[in-house]
Amino acid sequence: MLLELKDITKKYGDFKANDQVSFSLNKQEIHAIVGENGAGKTTLMRMLYGMEKPTSGDIFINGKKQNIDNPNIAIELGIGMVHQHFMLFPPFTIAENVVFHHEPKKGWRYDRKKAADEVAQLAEKFGMKINPLDIAGDAPVGIQQRVEILKVLYQGADVIILDEPTAVLTPLEVKELLVSLRELVKMGKSIILITHKLNEVMEIADRVTVLRDGKVTGTLTTKDTNPEELSRLMVGRELKNNPLPSIEKGNEILSIKNIEMTSKKSGKTLLDDVTLQVRQGEIVGIAGVSGNGQSELIQAITGLAPVNKGSVTLNGADMTNRSVKQIRDQGLSHIPEDRYLWGAAKEANLVDNMMMTDYAKPAFQKAGVLKLKEIRRYVAESVKKFNVKTTSIDTSAQFLSGGNLQKLIAAREIQKNTPFLLAAEPTRGVDIGAMEFIHEQLIEKRNNGDAVLLISSELSEILALSDRVFVMYEGKIVGEFDHQNASEEKLSILMAGGNNE
Amino acid sequence: ADESGNSGNSSEDAKRVAVVLTDKIGVNPFFQQISDGATKAADEAGLEVNVIESSDPTEIEQNLQVAVAEDYDLILTATFDAVDALTRVAEQNPEQDFAIIDAVVDLPNVKSAEFREYEASFLLGAAAGLSTETNKIGIVLAMDVPQINKYKSGFEEGVAHVNSEAEVLSSYVGSFADPAKAKEIALQQNANGADFIAAASAVSDLGVFEAAKEEGFYTSGQDIDRTTDDPEHIVLSQLKNTDVVAYDFVKEYGEGNFETGTQSFGVAEDGVGLTFVTAESESPLSDFIGQETIDKVTELKDQIISGELTVTNPLAQ
Amino acid sequence: MESLFDLSLINSTLRMMAPLLLAGLGGAICSRVGVFNVGLDGLMLMGAFLGVAANAYTHNVWLAILIAVIGTTIFSALYAYMTINLQANMIVTGIAINFLSIGITTFALRTIFDVQGAYYNNEMQGLPTWEIPVIDQIPLLGNLLSGQSPIVYLGILCTIVMYFFFKKSVAGSHFDAVGINPIAAKSQGIKVKRIQYQAVLISGVLCALAGAQLSLGQVTMFSENMTAGRGFIALVATMLGQSNPIGVFLSSGLFGFTEAISIRLQGLNVPTNFTLMLPYVITILAMFIFKDKTQLSALKNSAGSSR
Amino acid sequence: MNKLKTNATVFIQPLLAVIVGLLVGTIAIMLSGESVIVTYQEMWDGAFGNLYFLTNTLERAIPIILAGLGVAFAFRAGFFNLGAEGQLVMGAVTTAIVTVYLPFQGLLNMVISIIAGMLIAGLYSFLAGWMEQRFQINLLISTLLLNYIAVLFAGYLVSEPFRDTSSAGGVPQTVMVDEASRLPKLLTGMNLHYGFVIAIILAIVIAFIMKRTTFGYEVRMLGQNVFFAQYGGINRKKIMFTSLLISGMLAGLAGSVEVLGIHYRFIEGALSNPQFAWTGLMAALLANSNPIGTTVVAIFLAALDTGSLGVERNTDVPNSISGIIQAVLILFISAKFTMNFLNQRKKEGK
Ligand SMILES: Nc1ncnc2c1ncn2[C@@H]1O[C@H](COP(=O)(O)OP(=O)(O)OP(=O)(O)O)[C@@H](O)[C@H]1O
Ligand SMILES: Nc1ncnc2c1ncn2[C@@H]1O[C@H](COP(=O)(O)OP(=O)(O)OP(=O)(O)O)[C@@H](O)[C@H]1O
Ligand SMILES: [Mg+2]
Ligand SMILES: [Mg+2]
């Protein structure tokens, strides 16, 4: 056995993030860890990597007990970690990021040429395509992910911990990543993989450990289990399968006609003649590899960036290049694609976070004075209704797990009862329980006769929820399908810039 | 604060003097002079003295009020910064004796001493105008404010009186304590041809002196005799005997012949002056100035005293 | 005025900018590692005082500078300890450091030398001026650049060294990394606190030199609060130069230059307060040209700690 | 989680800081050879010794509170306004000039001149905001530089066009404000004036605005996350400009109130020398931009000032020592002692 964690407990105050967790990893094994948001997966790995100290319990590497006090020791022991939130230096080049803290030197000088060469070689060896001289911050997430893995490999790690590596990747990138991981195992590495996606577990892992509320609820061999059993272990119940009942479509709520947007900086065309409509009682999905204009489309619809041409009509009124407030008043609600950047103020409490976009409603203010009592009651009810796990509504948002924050944002936007909802990546990085819940809510909204535009890089999500699907590629709409006609295959080809004819 | 009145000095009935300064002593040698003068007189006359520095102008009034409350017999303050505060405090406490140096407060319980520095500046300017070989004379001033500019106007008048050819270069440091910049300014004036550069910039004067030493031009000091520091380059000093006035005031008070009212100190009263002209100096007279110049300036001094010559009071416009 | 742009202008600019440059570089190295050092003025004042005090006792200007550097570095360690270990608000601590050094130097002036206001002493030797052999020979340039105090040249040298440190060295890239993303740096096994300490201590050294240039280079004396707010101008130079050594050099140069000009402009018939304003106005105008698009990481840190 | 515990640490922290500060101050006093107890006694008396000293402390706190509230307001909206000093001076000089030269009388005159001062100061701060919004000029640098310009400009105004030439004075200053336009004293014989009431009311009003109004909510959210605010439909430009305007107006009011309540005229340097603006900035930072907290801290910092005045008057401890003690107290007050010390002890205990 390469590595073993025995009876690890980690307490934050009175709260046990990990409770008597035992875990082992064999050589050339891929061992997955699954569990709901906040189950304690990241915490466990942080202790293995020396970023936290266990309250009790022991860590054995190659049978020897080790005291891993800081990441340096972990790195020396051959343990590397790719963090859930990337640990990159955006202004540095990819090569500089990879060799960081192990830089090749020429005398006192940083031998950047050698670094680039070494990184290029390393990337080649493991079959990862990157350009070492690109600026890391400008690279797409998929590439950044590779940079993180290369960094770990460069440090000579034998054990590689990956914390939710696929949450931010496009399906294609996920495929590539999984191929790379198999490659790594062949070359003698061992891998711990944290993920929320059970299909990935089934596809690639040898064993899987399930955590719930800080405790291990099972360690299974993937051959002998199935996704249903795993989800039961994770959430403690059977998951429902939400059907999409066919209902009558109503009037056009959102109508986008021939819009165009160009980058102020580079003059590049970001949106090119995009036209689409969303009607009442309909979920329209936008599929596409991220970075193909989806973000710009969101900004154009929501008023966060101006379009150069074309028109946006919402609920019967022309909303082209209006302010966010005007558009929201006209009937928009919006689950943003990045919950930390757009969707929340981390340091503010749940009340403040929940009130955004609602605070000006007559129900919550009079002559500019907030009705705090009503507001607090409303927030408390919403938190309960949407099952947001928190100690109190006065906690600041940063202490919610990702999934719970996402539920809070969904609650905020769905409860507004607007005729139109724009849902961008509504379940990114969210556990399966929460995902099920959010999907239910979207469908319910549609069934109530509202219009929903769903933008997601998760094909399964698009396919499960959309009445109609559009595919975006390089700022253009390159295809449209009905619910029945859409398939993963057809979409994938268009998403990659191919042609269906 | 009342208890300190009689019980505080039970042993003997010594009179107590508070010297309330408007700034920290270090900011200007002028404060040191007043403090020294008052302390010396108090020692001689057997008075108790307490020197209180204020950190900023807002504190002056408070310090004056507390001094009244703590039953000091005489409260001595100085400079124009104290005028507003003193006016108010003195009006509220008509029984209390006050004195102010270098500014006037016209109240029955205040004794004021004002100085006609412009007369001394005139003499300095005249000496400079007579001595310059380049017909360019510099003056480095602290700030462009009236209480500093009174030195400038007398100086320029003095130069013009004796030498219509001479040009006066005047520059401001822009602060009261930046010797490095003052030096830079002096170097600049010297580079433009000034062979005599008067220093009138409080602590920053030291920067001008250094420049003179390095570049070999001539300069003058202010308030006290600075020629002793470097007689070769600091060739004159215009004098302002605030220490003497502070000494006199306190001494008079100790001796019981303190009378309120305003006294003006000019050349005639020996309140202001110029080294070698109105007062001896330990240092030798520089050849740059020369006895001849001194004689001429001494004549001017006599004319001022006799009233034959009046120097314009820049503040009385 | 005939002498507005004479040769000595460059000379004068170099002299005036040297303290700003050195302290500005100190501010720059701090901000590169995410520390917003508002205490530059206090560190400078400490350096100026220690330089003069040590000089008066040792009669050796070089030894004096060494002592000033050591003393100021120790003083800057206080700032480092407060902000890095005790996580005190950087800006409050910086302002307190400024107040503290005014207090300490004034108090020491009185207790050590028994004077108030200023200490000078005719026996005290200031820094010599150096004629630089080769440059000296070049007809025009020689006059312009030669004949400055060694610290002026050291300032230029420090700019170059720091430029290469950040551009070429491994340690430099680690400094940057700490400023860009301290959590990531820590997760890679970098000792973030140690690097921040190093940066603050180096800024101590640089500010000591800046102060010594004032009190031993430009003049040979110490007067209370003689930095006259130069530390804040240095801070502006740091920010305007976007913490880049060359940028700091240029912005402190701009400031030194306009200040030299403003002295010359006093001869014109413009109210003095307006000529004194010139350096500040020009600096603001300069910002219209060199826009600051990048957010300083130090800024973010300090703003973060302010909430 | 544990509310009681966190509340306790909130109080323990500054307390510990004050204790450490006093300890270091003790060393400084001992160095100067004075009695530590007497010195601290004088310090206390100078700040709070009797009604006179107490009201003096409160009076000194007025401009610090107002400037601090101004800084805090901008902070809350996410803007670092280092220009309080310039704004304060602009407000003061405007008020002084308007009071004297415009033909209004009495209370009306007072109100108009205060509003004028606040407006000019607000616009001065607005200018910096506009330059950032329009030309991406870093607010920190511009506000810092605008301070120097304001001080020099005000200096020009009172030494040239608006100088008081009547008295045989030397200080550049405006003519004195007539009695009817002055801010009345709160208690006869004391220096404390109605500016204090204004400051306290404003602190409460601002606390209310921040916590209880939609505008305050918008300001807070903008300060916490600009993108979130924009996403929610908050107009960044509008909030930025109004909050900088308000911030400047508060700083300006600090100056106006000093002019009409204490000096009765604008005197060059009288408002920058006492470092009101910087002290206010520290108060805002130490109180995490909480308006009520800023007020309390401002009074504490003012007490350090007036306390050191007491030390200066009644002991032989040099003025600079009280400066040292003051600086040391401020230095330690923002340190996060308890956290580190307790944590370390916990670790070592294990
Ligand atoms: N530093 C900390 N202090 C207090 N509580 C913490 C800390 N770090 C984590 N926790 C808590 O421990 C629990 C486990 O967190 P952890 O990050 O391990 O969850 P996770 O399983 O990785 O969740 P996710 O799927 O969202 O990544 C959470 O409830 C979290 O709030
Ligand atoms: N000091 C803390 N106290 C309490 N909880 C904390 C603390 N620090 C972090 N956490 C929580 O620990 C958990 C782990 O953080 P992590 O970085 O894994 O983010 P996350 O919430 O899992 O993000 P996501 O799932 O959106 O990527 C989060 O729930 C976070 O809110
Ligand atoms: Mg996690
Ligand atoms: Mg997560």
* CATH number, position D234: 1.10.3470
- Ligand having the closest approach to the CA of A33: 1
User: Nearest chain C Cα to D288, which residue?
Assistant: C307
Domain ranges for chain A:
3-235, 252-331+418-495
Q: What is the mean pLDDT of residues B146-155?
A: 88
The interface residues of chain C toward chain D in range 205-244, judged by CB-CB distance below 8 A, are: 232, 235-236, 239-240
Question: In which band, very low, low, confident or very high, does the pLDDT at D330 lie, cut at 50, 70 and 90?
Answer: confident
Helix B179-191 vs helix B205-215: angle between axes, to the nearest 10 degrees?
A: 40
Which residue segment(s) compose the domain that D233 sits in? 35-334
Task: Say yes or no for a CB contact (<8 Å) between B315 and D159.
Answer: no
pLDDT for res A329: 92
Please check whether residue C100 lies inside any domain of the structure.
Answer: yes
pLDDT for res A289: 81
| Stretch (H or E) spanning D102 | none
Question: In which band, very low, low, confident or very high, does the pLDDT at D24 lie, cut at 50, 70 and 90?
Answer: confident
- Ligand having the closest approach to the CA of A402: 2
* Region of residue D92 (phi > 0: left; psi between -120 and 50: alpha; otherwise: beta): alpha
Q: What is the mean pLDDT of residues C100-105?
A: 92
Q: Among A41, A234, A235, A391, name the best residue to mutate to test ligand 1's pocket (greatest count of ligand atoms within 8 A of Cβ).
A: A41
> pLDDT for B202-212, tens place per residue?
889 999 999 99
Contact assessment for residue B141 and residue B149, using Cβ atoms and an 8 Å cutoff: yes
Is the CB of residue A12 below 6 angstroms from any atom belonging to ligand 1?
A: yes
Number of domain units in chain C: 1
Of C96, C110, C287, the CB nearest to D318: C110
Of A70, A100, A108, the CB nearest to C177: A100
Tokens of A11: 């307490």
What is the rounded distance in angstroms from the CA atom of residue D309 to the CA atom of residue B21?
Answer: 13
Q: What is the mean pLDDT of residues D143-162?
A: 92
Helix D139-159 vs helix D84-101: angle between axes, to the nearest 10 degrees?
A: 30
Which residue segment(s) compose the domain that C88 sits in? 7-127+139-294
Does C145 score more than 50 pLDDT? yes
> pLDDT for C177-222, tens place per residue?
999 999 999 988 899 999 999 999 999 999 999 999 999 998 999 9
Atom of ligand 1 nearest to the CA of A10: 12
Residues of chain A below pLDDT 50: none
Does D3 score more than 50 pLDDT? no
Question: In which band, very low, low, confident or very high, does the pLDDT at C140 lie, cut at 50, 70 and 90?
Answer: low
State the distance from the centre of ligand 3 to the C-alpha of B256, rounded, in angstroms: 88
The interface residues of chain B toward chain D in range 212-251, judged by CB-CB distance below 8 A, are: none
Amino acid at C179: G
Query: What are phi and psi for residue A59, nearest 5 degrees?
Result: -120, 130
State the sign of the Cα–Cα–Cα–Cα dihedral A488, A491, A495, A498: positive
What is the rounded distance in angstroms from the CA atom of residue C274 to the CA atom of residue D294?
Answer: 35
User: Nearest chain B Cα to C114, which residue?
Assistant: B26
Question: Do C and A share at least 3 CB pairs under 8 Å?
Answer: yes
> pLDDT for C60-71, tens place per residue?
999 999 999 999
State the sign of the Cα–Cα–Cα–Cα dihedral C286, C288, C291, C296: positive
Task: Say yes or no for a CB contact (<8 Å) between D227 and A342.
Answer: yes
State the distance from the centre of ligand 2 to the C-alpha of A42, rounded, in angstroms: 9
Task: Say yes or no for a CB contact (<8 Å) between B170 and C220.
Answer: no
- In chain D, residues with a C-beta closer than 8 Å to the C-beta of C80 are none
Domains A3-235 and A252-331+418-495 fall in the same CATH topology: yes
Q: Is C276 on the interface with B (CB under 8 A)?
A: yes
Q: What is the mean pLDDT of residues B137-148?
A: 89
> pLDDT for A142-193, tens place per residue?
889 889 999 999 999 999 999 988 877 777 788 888 998 998 999 899 999 9
Q: The CATH number of the domain where C260 resides is what?
A: 1.10.3470.10
Atom of ligand 2 nearest to the CA of A38: 29
Task: Please report which residue ranges of B93-227 form alpha helices under DSSP H.
Answer: 117-131, 146-162, 179-191, 205-215
Please check whether residue C304 lies inside any domain of the structure.
Answer: no
Please check whether residue D290 lies inside any domain of the structure.
Answer: yes
Q: Give how far Cα D279 sits from Cα of A320, C82, D6, D247, Å.
A: 48, 19, 28, 15
Does D126 score more than 60 pLDDT? yes
pLDDT for res A378: 94
Please check whether residue C306 lies inside any domain of the structure.
Answer: no
Question: In which band, very low, low, confident or very high, does the pLDDT at D8 lie, cut at 50, 70 and 90?
Answer: low
Domain A252-331+418-495 has CATH 3.40.50.300: yes
Does B301 score more than 80 pLDDT? yes
Tokens of A499: 């042609």
- In chain B, residues with a C-beta closer than 8 Å to the C-beta of D176 are 84
Question: Do B and C share at least 3 CB pairs under 8 Å?
Answer: yes
Is the CB of residue A45 below 6 angstroms from any atom belonging to ligand 1?
A: no
Give the rounded distance of the alpha carbon of D29 from its chain centre.
28
Task: Say yes or no for a CB contact (<8 Å) between C176 and A89.
Answer: yes
Q: What is the secondary structure of D138-194 as a DSSP string?
A: -HHHHHHHHHHHHHHHHHHHHHTTT---SSS--S-BPPPPPGGGSPPBSSTTSS-BT
State the distance from the centre of ligand 2 to the C-alpha of A37, rounded, in angstroms: 9
pLDDT for res D189: 80
Q: Among A42, A45, A406, name the best residue to mutate to test ligand 1's pocket (greatest count of ligand atoms within 8 A of Cβ).
A: A42
Contact partners of D by the rule of 3+ C-beta pairs under 8 A?
A, B, C
Task: Say yes or no for a CB contact (<8 Å) between B84 and D191.
Answer: no
What is the rounded distance in angstroms from the CA atom of residue B118 to the CA atom of residue B161?
Answer: 14
A162: Cβ–Cβ under 8 A, 6 or more apart, which residues? A81, A82, A149, A181, A191, A192, A193, A194
Is the CB of residue A37 below 6 angstroms from any atom belonging to ligand 1?
A: yes
Question: In which band, very low, low, confident or very high, does the pLDDT at D87 lie, cut at 50, 70 and 90?
Answer: very high
Q: Among A44, A81, A84, A438, name the best residue to mutate to test ligand 2's pocket (greatest count of ligand atoms within 8 A of Cβ).
A: A84
> pLDDT for D261-277, tens place per residue?
999 999 888 888 888 99
pLDDT for res A227: 87
Nearest to D303 by CA among D32, D43, D10: D43
pTM, full prediction: 0.88
> pLDDT for D226-241, tens place per residue?
999 999 999 999 999 9
ipTM of the complex: 0.86
- Residue B4 burial by Cβ neighbours in a 10 Å radius (0-12, 13-18, 19+): middle
- Ligand having the closest approach to the CA of A209: 1
What is the rounded distance in angstroms from the CA atom of residue A207 to the CA atom of residue A192?
Answer: 10
State the distance from the centre of ligand 1 to the C-alpha of C232, rounded, in angstroms: 43
pLDDT for res C8: 74
Please check whether residue D339 lies inside any domain of the structure.
Answer: no
Of A324, A368, A370, the CB nearest to D230: A324
pLDDT for res B2: 35
Query: Average pLDDT, whole number, for chain D?
Result: 87
Is the CB of residue A85 below 6 angstroms from any atom belonging to ligand 2?
A: yes
pLDDT for res A376: 95
State the distance from the centre of ligand 1 to the C-alpha of A382, rounded, in angstroms: 23
Q: Is C14 on the interface with B (CB under 8 A)?
A: no
Q: Which residues pair with B90 in a beta bridge?
A: none
Contact assessment for residue C255 and residue C66, using Cβ atoms and an 8 Å cutoff: no
State the sign of the Cα–Cα–Cα–Cα dihedral A249, A252, A258, A262: negative
Number of inter-chain CB pairs under 8 A, A vs C? 55
Q: Is C264 on the interface with B (CB under 8 A)?
A: yes
Does D303 score more than 60 pLDDT? yes
The interface residues of chain A toward chain C in range 227-246, judged by CB-CB distance below 8 A, are: none
pLDDT for res B101: 93
Please check whether residue C132 lies inside any domain of the structure.
Answer: no
What is the rounded distance in angstroms from the CA atom of residue D231 to the CA atom of residue A338?
Answer: 11
> pLDDT for B276-299, tens place per residue?
999 888 899 999 999 999 999 999
pLDDT, greater one: A167 or D297: D297
Number of domain units in chain D: 1
- In chain C, residues with a C-beta closer than 8 Å to the C-beta of D144 are 232, 235-236
Nearest to B17 by CA among B94, B124, B97, B117: B97
pLDDT for res A501: 55
Please check whether residue C300 lies inside any domain of the structure.
Answer: no
- In chain C, residues with a C-beta closer than 8 Å to the C-beta of D319 are 106
Helix C230-240 vs helix C8-32: angle between axes, to the nearest 10 degrees?
A: 70
Does D151 score more than 50 pLDDT? yes
Question: Do A and B share at least 3 CB pairs under 8 Å?
Answer: no
What is the rounded distance in angstroms from the CA atom of residue D73 to the CA atom of residue D76?
Answer: 5
Question: In which band, very low, low, confident or very high, does the pLDDT at D293 lie, cut at 50, 70 and 90?
Answer: very high
pLDDT for res D308: 85
Contact assessment for residue A118 and residue A104, using Cβ atoms and an 8 Å cutoff: yes
Q: Give how far Cα B3 sits from Cα of A281, B73, B89, Å.
A: 88, 15, 21
Contact partners of B by the rule of 3+ C-beta pairs under 8 A?
C, D
Task: Say yes or no for a CB contact (<8 Å) between D171 and B145.
Answer: yes
Contact partners of A by the rule of 3+ C-beta pairs under 8 A?
C, D
- The rounded radius of gyration (Å) of the Cα atoms in chain C is 19
Among A258-267, B3-12, C77-86, which range has the highest average pLDDT? C77-86
Query: Average pLDDT, whole number, for chain B?
Result: 89
- CATH level 3 topology of A3-235: Rossmann fold (3.40.50)
